[in-house]
Amino acid sequence: MTDTSSETYTKAYNQAIKYLSMRSHTVFELRNKLLRKNFEKNIIAQVLKDLVETKYLNDRDFAHTFVQNLIKYKTFGYYGIKMKLRQRGISDEIAEDVLGEELDHETEKKIAEKAISKSGKKDKEKLMMMLKRKGFRSIKIEMEE
Query: What is residue 115's three-state secondary structure?
Result: helix
**Cβ count within 10 A of residue 111:** 25
Q: What is the pLDDT of residue 5?
A: 85
Contacts of 1 (CB under 8 A, 6+ apart): 9
Contacts of 119 (CB under 8 A, 6+ apart): 127, 130
Per-residue pLDDT of the chain (145 residues; tens, 9 = 90+): 555 689 999 999 999 999 999 999 999 999 999 999 999 999 999 999 999 999 999 999 999 999 999 999 999 999 999 999 999 999 999 999 999 999 999 999 999 999 999 998 889 899 999 999 999 997 665 554 4
Residues in the chain: 145
Q: What is the pLDDT of residue 142?
A: 58
Q: What is the pLDDT of residue 113?
A: 92
Q: What is the pLDDT of residue 145?
A: 40
Domains in the chain, CATH or no CATH each: 3-57 (1.10.10.10), 60-133 (no CATH)
Give the closest residue to 84 by CA, choosing from 36, 26, 35: 26
Give the closest residue to 137 by CA, choosing from 120, 114, 112: 112
For residues 89 and 142, the answer to whether their CB atoms sit within 8 Å is no
